[in-house]
């Protein structure tokens, strides 16, 4: 089964006006009561802390490749609202060089993304309205890999984790999706510009060489909290469901195959059933485990 990291490229052009997706916008949309913040490293995020008489649990959300903090089809924006309804806070960030965050896309690396996640984690841990002992983390696609690495490097920081459409070895995935030709061009020229079909990205050689900065098979077992992994049946990430569930170290673990769903849970179609099912299952998971 082909790995479809960029499965939405073929449909995005004709669906840009649907579900809040746009090629360019002045600022990412927010839910009522949310606050846009800038962290000390220039990373921009959206914070949602529901009103409560006591500190609330919260989830850190990490977006996928060539995406931003609200995610495709506003899935993270929608999940943040679902979490808030359950009394759970959230922080979704743009990685450095992506979305509204400071930095140069061409200098983006896996290690840099992990560092961004750790700064966001420290911010959440410092908030008076957030219970630092009840933090969760969620990653989508490449963001799932960053989630595994962040939790592996900070094994006591998170009580619950969820992964959406997450693969294994990043280098293998990106060679298949971006081709060896682009790897070689970046090595030869320092950077390479790639047309994804729905946007242009400029990646530095450090992005490609940094895909091996962390090993998911080493990092994932370091995390011992509750764990759920989600994948669409029509996406290559479904091949990793069993591995993640079987290697999860916590007492509570689950895998969720979404029948008929692609890499992005069919969110760029008129029928939102599968996307909504994914959002609800994830919000319910964090409500149960945090």
The model carries a pTM of: 0.92
Q: Is residue 224 part of a domain?
A: yes
Rounded average pLDDT over 42-47: 98
List pLDDT tens digits, range 231-280: 999 999 999 999 999 999 999 999 999 999 999 999 999 999 999 999 99
Range of the domain at 154: 28-168+219-289
Let me know: does 256 contact 228? Beta carbons within 8 Å: yes
Query: Count of domains in the chain?
Result: 1
Quickly list H helices, the chain.
9-12, 75-85, 110-126, 142-153, 170-189, 205-209, 216-219, 241-247, 273-289
Domain annotation covers residue 34: yes
Query: Is pLDDT above 50 for 8?
Result: no
Contact at 8 Å (CB) between 285 and 254?
yes
Please state, rounded to an integer, the average pLDDT across all residues of the chain.
92
Band of residue 27 on the pLDDT scale cut at 50, 70, 90: confident
Tell me, yes or no, whether 43 lies in a domain: yes
Looking at residue 198, its pLDDT comes to 86
Spatial neighbors of 166 by CB under 8 A, at least 6 apart, are 139, 140, 141, 144, 145, 147, 148, 229, 231, 237, 240, 244
Domain CATH for 86? 3.40.50.1820
- 178 is a domain residue: no
**Nearest to 191, CA basis, from 200, 178, 204:** 204
183 or 14: whose pLDDT is higher? Answer: 183
How confident is the model at residue 206, as a pLDDT? 98
- Is the distance from CB of 163 to CB of 148 less than 8 angstroms? yes
Reported as a single tens digit per residue, the pLDDT across 233-242 is: 999 999 999 9
How does pLDDT run across 74-113, given as a tens digit for each residue? 999 999 999 999 999 999 999 999 999 999 999 999 999 9
């Amino acid at each position: 089964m082909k790995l479809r990291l960029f499965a939405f490229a073929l449909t995005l052009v004709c669906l840009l006006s649907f579900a809040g997706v746009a090629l360019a916008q002045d600022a990412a949309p927010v839910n009522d009561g949310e606050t846009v913040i800038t962290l000390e490293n220039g990373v921009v995020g959206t914070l949602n802390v529901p009103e409560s008489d006591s500190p609330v649990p919260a989830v850190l959300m990490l977006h996928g490749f060539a995406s931003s903090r609200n995610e495709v089809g506003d899935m993270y924006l929608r999940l943040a609202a679902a979490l808030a309804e359950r009394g759970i806070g959230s922080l979704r960030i743009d990685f450095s060089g992506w979305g509204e965050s400071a930095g140069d896309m061409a200098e983006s690396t896996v290690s840099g993304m992990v560092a961004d996640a750790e700064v966001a984690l420290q911010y959440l841990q410092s908030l008076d309205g957030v219970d630092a002992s009840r933090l969760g983390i969620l990653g989508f696609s490449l963001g799932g890999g960053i989630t595994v690495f962040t939790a592996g490097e900070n094994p006591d920081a998170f009580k619950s984790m969820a992964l959406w459409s997450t693969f294994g070895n990043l280098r293998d995935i990106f060679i298949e999706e971006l081709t060896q030709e682009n790897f070689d061009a970046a090595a030869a020229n320092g950077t390479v510009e790639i047309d994804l079909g729905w946007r242009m990205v400029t990646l530095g050689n450090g992005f490609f060489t940094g895909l091996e900065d962390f090993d998911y098979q080493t990092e994932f077992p370091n995390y011992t909290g509750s764990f759920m992994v989600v994948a669409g049946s029509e996406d290559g990430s479904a091949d990793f469901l069993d591995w993640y569930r079987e290697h999860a170290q916590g007492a509570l673990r689950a895998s969720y195959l979404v029948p008929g769903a692609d890499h992005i849970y069919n969110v760029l179609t008129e029928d939102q059933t599968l996307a909504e099912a994914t959002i609800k299952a994830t919000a319910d998971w964090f409500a149960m485990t945090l």
